[in-house]
Structure 1
Amino acid sequence: MTSERPVVGASSLLGEDFDWAEAIGGWRGMAESVAPGGVFVTAFLVWGGFRAPVIAAVATVLVMVLVRLIQRTPVTQALGGIFGVGLGAIWAWRAGDATEFFVPSFFYTGGYAVALLVSMLARWPAVGIVVGLLRGWGGRWRRHPSAARRFQAATGFYLATQLVKLAVQLPLYFASATAALGVAKLALGLPWFAVALFVIWRMVRNVELPEEPEDLPPPKE
């Protein structure tokens, strides 16, 4: 399954209105995120086993990259899909079990959750870092308790979304419910990220910092 890319749509946090298309990396980005996993689940339901679903998913993401190369459009997002699908394919092929296709994404989600938690414990919440970079604040927001608390809460919410993903998917994995796990992975992939980004946007959109001396415009001559 394609790996989630948290940087996709991060600029949506800056707008007065939330841009859903930007949040999912455009509708083409959405299709490219869903297609390999959808093909994997469909192939599993039709043929079963692990070879056909794995080959179908890998072929799908390779075709997407080829189309982008032919059209001379950026291939970054599609290349991210190659990494995610390729790693899952290797894992499943070595184990001889289609369900193992999803295991690498569990490590990715778990590691991401740990990173978010560490950022909160260090008082450098990840959402604050991203918003600070996008708005040109750097780390200045840390000197304003109300802004720091808002970013800490938003990061905590995003951490919770990662834990929900694991809470839903791991029981399905241990039950060897491959098709159900594939559907859950699709639903909790880019669409889930877009919903989470919308909530985070609502939490941080009104955060403003007072101007400091270095921020003031130079006096008129």
Structure 2
Amino acid sequence: MSHAPTAALHDPRQARPGRTDPGVSARVRRVLDLPEPVERSAGRAVAHRALERLGGPVGLLVAAAPTVAFVAADAAAGLGAALVALALAAVLGCAVRLARREPPGAAVAGVLVAALCAGVAVLAGEARAFFLPTTLLPVAFIVAYAVSLLARRPLMGVVVNPLVGGPRAWREHRDLRRAYTASTLIVLALASANLLVRVVSYLEGQLAVLAGLQVGVPVLFATHFALTVVVARRVVRRSTTGSPTTPLPAHA
């Protein structure tokens, strides 16, 4: 005799605390003429995951505040005022992060990065030098992505696979390896474009563009990372629910 009905009655998904009976909910919606609930789309899930990775709206604002304060103060009153505004914004951002119980290391790192950029600007005697460290930083990522692809160990697979519960031998699964390779190629292209635009903007002294990149690029990369997690999780789920990913030949 099948026990499916009994299992359905005891399915924990049907008895979550605080969950209203579907029948009652449907009747209430009909009486109040409310629309049917819609599950969060994949796009919204990716956006939500990316925002979480950046610390939510508050975390995003805290990360952007020092750069915005520096550029605005420099445009209004010069480098000296920009350094003061930067210091105030960085210290305030650190305090906000600690108040939100974020890891102290992350809070202090924000201050150290701001101090490093400010030090370079002081040594160079010009505001645009504030962006020099972050202009050159993409070079390291480009090298890392390229080397991982040449070694046939795409970096996005190394980072993402443990997070999605993928098999340790993910390189032997064609679907997973293709997904991680494609993701690494995409992020390599993004990093290369980011470097190119930063260098051109730096040489032309376009501080507003550099500030926009410094604020917006982390959002772009966080979105890419979140999308990779979603795609990889689906591939892993298929491999564990009766539709396994195709293993690679032994000689591959």
Shorter-chain TM-score category? 0.7 to 0.9
Total equivalences in the alignment:
194
Distance 1:210 1:187, change over 3 A: closer
Is residue 145–residue 154 contact of structure 2 (8 Å, CA) maintained in 1? yes
One-letter amino acid of the structure 1 residue matched with residue 59 of structure 2: G
Distance 1:100 1:182 in 2: 12
Superposition map of 1:159-198 within 5 A: 159-188=188-217, 190-198=218-226
One-letter amino acid of the structure 2 residue matched with residue 196 of structure 1: H
Distance 1:201 1:67 in 2: 29
Is residue 29–residue 77 contact of structure 1 (8 Å, CA) maintained in 2? no
Give the Å deviation of 1:203. 4.5
Q: 1:134 aligns with which of 159, 163, 187?
A: 163
Distance 1:203 1:135 in 2: 10
RMSD, aligned α-carbons: 2.4
What are the Cα deviations for residues 106-155 of structure 1, in whole angstroms up to 9, with x where unaligned? 22211111111111111111111122211333631011122112101101
Distance 1:25 1:138, change over 3 A: farther
Distance 2:202 2:57 in 1: 29
What 5-or-longer segments of structure 1 have no aligned partner? 1-14, 212-221
Distance 1:168 1:113 in 2: 14
Is residue 99–residue 176 contact of structure 1 (8 Å, CA) maintained in 2? yes
What are the Cα deviations for residues 166-207 of structure 1, in whole angstroms up to 9, with x where unaligned? 12111111112223322333222x222233335434653432
Q: Percent identity?
A: 30
Distance 2:172 2:222 in 1: 29
Distance 2:239 2:213 in 1: 43
One-letter amino acid of the structure 1 residue matched with residue 228 of structure 2: I
Which TM-score applies when normalising by structure 2? 0.69
Superposition map of 1:52-131 within 5 A: 52-69=81-98, 71=99, 73-74=101-102, 75-131=104-160
User: Which fold has the larger relative contact order, with Cα–Cα distance below 8 Å and residues 6 or more apart in sequence?
Assistant: 1
Q: Report the more deviating stretch, 105-114 or 87-96.
A: 105-114
Q: 1:28 aligns with which of 52, 58, 78?
A: 58
One-letter amino acid of the structure 2 residue matched with residue 134 of structure 1: L
Q: 1:204 aligns with which of 198, 223, 232?
A: 232
